[in-house]
Amino acid sequence: MSPLSQGDAKLLPLEGKRTSDTNAARIPEEYLQLILPFAGIHSWQQANVHILSQHLQLGKFSLWVHDIMSYQDQVICPFVPFPLYTLHYLFESSLSIRMPHSIPFQLEEDTCNLFHLRPGVSYLPLEAGTKAVSFHLNILPEHMHQLAKSYPVMHQRLLEMASGNRVINKHPYVINAVSHLLITKILTCRYLRQEAAVYLERCCTDLFNIFCRQYTIEDKSLFVDDVDTYDVYHKIFEYLKANKNIYHDIRKISWMYEISERELTTGFLNTFAITIEDCVHMLKMMHAFDLLMQQDQDFSEIATAVALDTETMISSVEKYYNFKISVQRN
């Protein structure tokens, strides 16, 4: 498939190469704060719509983010040049899209879905005043099967799936607080080059793993849908975020929130699709990485900030992000 040119104003590529990036001087000032320094950028405005499209290749993931603002009623045409899977998150609006040879699909605000897409053009009507952020993790079919092997229920679904455009999950998943944090970290990342690549690829991996666990939990009918129950686990997550500098003992947390250890372990997993231990580790690794990149604290201070000894902090961050700290600090 040949690269798309700037003249393809109504086409919104969801994957593929573009001929060139948009010069930052041509991007409206209000969009400049959204730009990811490491990304390829394409900004275009037709009479009725403005779109800022950014993309990054991150290992097996191809990240595409589209900020869309429609000033009048408009139809845009999302375009896929070759077969792919896309893990899609939508913010700020609900949209109805019609994919080739499919009935319209309702994309709900603050939800995520995993799609298998065939090459072709879809139709996406926008009402006047629509503002949306469309976040895509694209994965080639050969990579998807490798990534999904750790999740037997998901892997089996992919093996049994017929060809064509379709959504993989049975219903949209609400974007939970942990996934929302990861997406916020991606959209606000200001690291450059290799630092951005390793950090963002890990965020994408964590997002993908959470979605696969959501699919497994859905299959077992273990989703938490009680508002009061979810509120308790949300408070626990906020507590973990605010206290990365202490060692978290499951028994103490269960005592603090008057939940049995077994209920805490199961409930946290079913609410956020990540174990509480893995969530604590993720929060500490992200914080340690941020402090390491600032380069104004020594290793012992950073280790203290995440309640680890220095040697464990260094080895854990290197393993989590698959990079050598010594290279980044030089």
Q: Are residues 140 and 239 in the same domain?
A: no
Q: Which residue among 176, 197, 232 closes a domain?
A: 176
Residue 217 within a domain = no
Are 114 and 231 in the same domain? no
Confidence at residue 330, expressed as pLDDT on a 0 to 100 scale: 46
pLDDT recorded at residue 30 = 81
Identify the CATH number of the domain in which residue 288 sits.
1.10.10.60
pLDDT at position 5, please?
37
Give me the pLDDT at residue 3, please.
Answer: 38
Q: Are residues 67 and 143 in the same domain?
A: yes
Q: How far is Cα 49 from Cα 124, in angstroms, rounded to an integer?
A: 12
In this structure, is residue 194 part of a structural domain? no
Residues 172 and 230 in one domain: no
Say if 32 falls within a structural domain.
yes
Number of compact structural domains in the chain: 2
Within 10 angstroms of residue 205's Cβ, the number of other Cβ atoms is: 19
Whether 209 maps to a domain, the answer reads no
For residue 4, the model assigns a pLDDT of: 37
Flag whether 158 is in a domain. yes
- Among 143, 176, 209, the domain boundary falls at 176
Determine the pLDDT at residue 2.
Answer: 35
Shared domain for 159 and 251, answered yes or no, is no
Are 18 and 125 within one domain? yes
The CATH number of whichever domain residue 111 belongs to comes to: 2.60.120.10
- pLDDT score of 48: 85
Q: How far apart are the first and last CA of the chain?
A: 42
What's residue 226's pLDDT? 54
Q: List, run by run, the mean pLDDT of 10-residue segments along the chain (330 residues).
A: 41 82 78 86 84 94 96 91 96 92 89 95 93 97 92 89 85 96 97 93 98 85 56 96 95 94 94 97 98 92 97 97 74
Q: What is the pLDDT of residue 221?
A: 53
- Asked if residue 214 belongs to a domain, the reply is no
> Same domain for 297 and 233?
yes
Q: Is residue 42 part of a domain?
A: yes
Q: How is 198-255 classified by DSSP, letter by letter?
A: HHHHHHHHHHHHHHHHHHHHHHTT-----HHHHHHHHHHHHHHHHTTTSPPPHHHHHH
Residues 37, 170, single domain; the answer is yes
Phi (first) and psi of residue 238, to 5 degrees:
-65, -35
Pair (50, 163) in one structural domain: yes
- Quote the pTM value: 0.92
Residue 322 is part of which domain span?
A: 224-329
Q: Give the 3-state secondary structure of residue 127.
A: coil
